Amino acid sequence: MNLEDIKDKTILLFGKPRAFSKDEFESQMKHHNVTIVKEINDEVILSVDGRMMTPYEQIASDELYEKGGMNTATIDELERALAKEIDKDTLLMSLKLSHDKERLKSAIENSMLNDEIFFALMKMYSWSGEDFFENDDNRDVSAAFIARFYENIERNHNVQYATTGFIHLVAQAKSSDVLLAISLLEPLKYHPKIKTAIAMHPKCDPSMQKRFFKSDDAKILEALSLNQNLDEKLIKEFAKNEYLGLNVARSILLTDELFEYLKKFTLGLAQNETLSEVMQLELLNLHDNFVNLALANNNFITLSIIQKLHDNSDEELKMALYKNSATPHDILNEAYKDENYHGALAQNENTPVEILYQLQLDARYERMVKTNAGFGKHIQGENIGWLV
């Protein structure tokens, strides 16, 4: 709806506002010079159905609808139109000058306000040095934050009242905006696991990375070193440390330049999922047993590299390949002829299902097969249940 159509006019409201508090709703109506009445009169140009309508109001609304001739709207439509007209700077200044915590909390709980305003409101909120759910106000604000961004919140309402809700939000984040907002929340000091989850998230942008790096917290630094989109300046910093540099080599989204820069961490590079075939071949040509074993365990190596590794007579190397889901069926079928490799094949989700059925009949491998993701997917697809 368009607010211009009701400015300087009178509307009939049944029930109460939903997203706005009563006081805030009335303030917004006054700002737009809209008069609110509870009974129909000749000046009413719009009827609005709000929440918590009384039986009397419901009957009156139904009669108006049946009679016709009156424009109608839902409270959601009206509040959405109001929210679009709110100026962020004006609202923030008003809240800052009023020092009204209840009004601030009400605005934070208003799902109609856009995310930009919401993030600005969160920066104004004082947690009083307490945890997310340690007092009533913090609980309400935390619940509003989680409910706003949690995917499919209607399927899991309880998650908005638990710290796990923030952990899920980090996992679900598809942009840096929500991660940044969470990273700035004061109660995060009580939850180092959420910090580390943000630090290693691919959407953790350079500004957040820099702030985490300055914290000099060992666990945060370790998590940051596992971020595949680590800022170039931090890559160079971590490369000075053998352990953190190994993490970077293992986790970073590789380019030719980064591969060259991180060459001293060959064992980490061999575990990297983004190795090109050229990079894999270069590592293979080092003829390093530990590097070869790391390549054999890498589920993203190419067929040609698998073939070259398989030609090696090393048993530990072959065992790794037979567990590797990148290994093709012809090699796995051949391996099945040797009982020594059955345990590895039982764990490989790419093992041909006919072989897995046979291995399931052996008590030694039954549990491995039943926990094999590939076999589980086959069973679900066929909808036949587990064999007993």
pLDDT band at 388 (very low <50, low <70, confident <90, very high): very low
Q: Give the per-residue pLDDT at 216.
A: 86
pLDDT band at 383 (very low <50, low <70, confident <90, very high): low
pLDDT band at 23 (very low <50, low <70, confident <90, very high): confident
Domains and CATH numbers, the chain: 3-85 (3.40.50.10190)
More confident residue, 185 or 24: 185
User: What mean pLDDT, rounded, does the chain reach?
Assistant: 93
Does the structure show a pLDDT above 90 at 212? yes
Question: 154 near 182, Cβ under 8 Å?
Answer: no
Mean predicted confidence (pLDDT) in 296-301 = 97
Does the structure show a pLDDT above 80 at 19? yes
Q: Give the per-residue pLDDT at 152.
A: 85
Mean predicted confidence (pLDDT) in 200-204 = 96
Pairwise CA distance, residues 370 & 354, whole Å = 14
Sequence letter at residue 251: S
Q: Give the per-residue pLDDT at 384.
A: 57
Mean predicted confidence (pLDDT) in 4-32 = 91
pLDDT band at 333 (very low <50, low <70, confident <90, very high): very high
Pairwise CA distance, residues 67 & 64, whole Å = 5
Does the structure show a pLDDT above 90 at 153? no
Does the structure show a pLDDT above 60 at 385? no
Mean predicted confidence (pLDDT) in 121-139 = 96
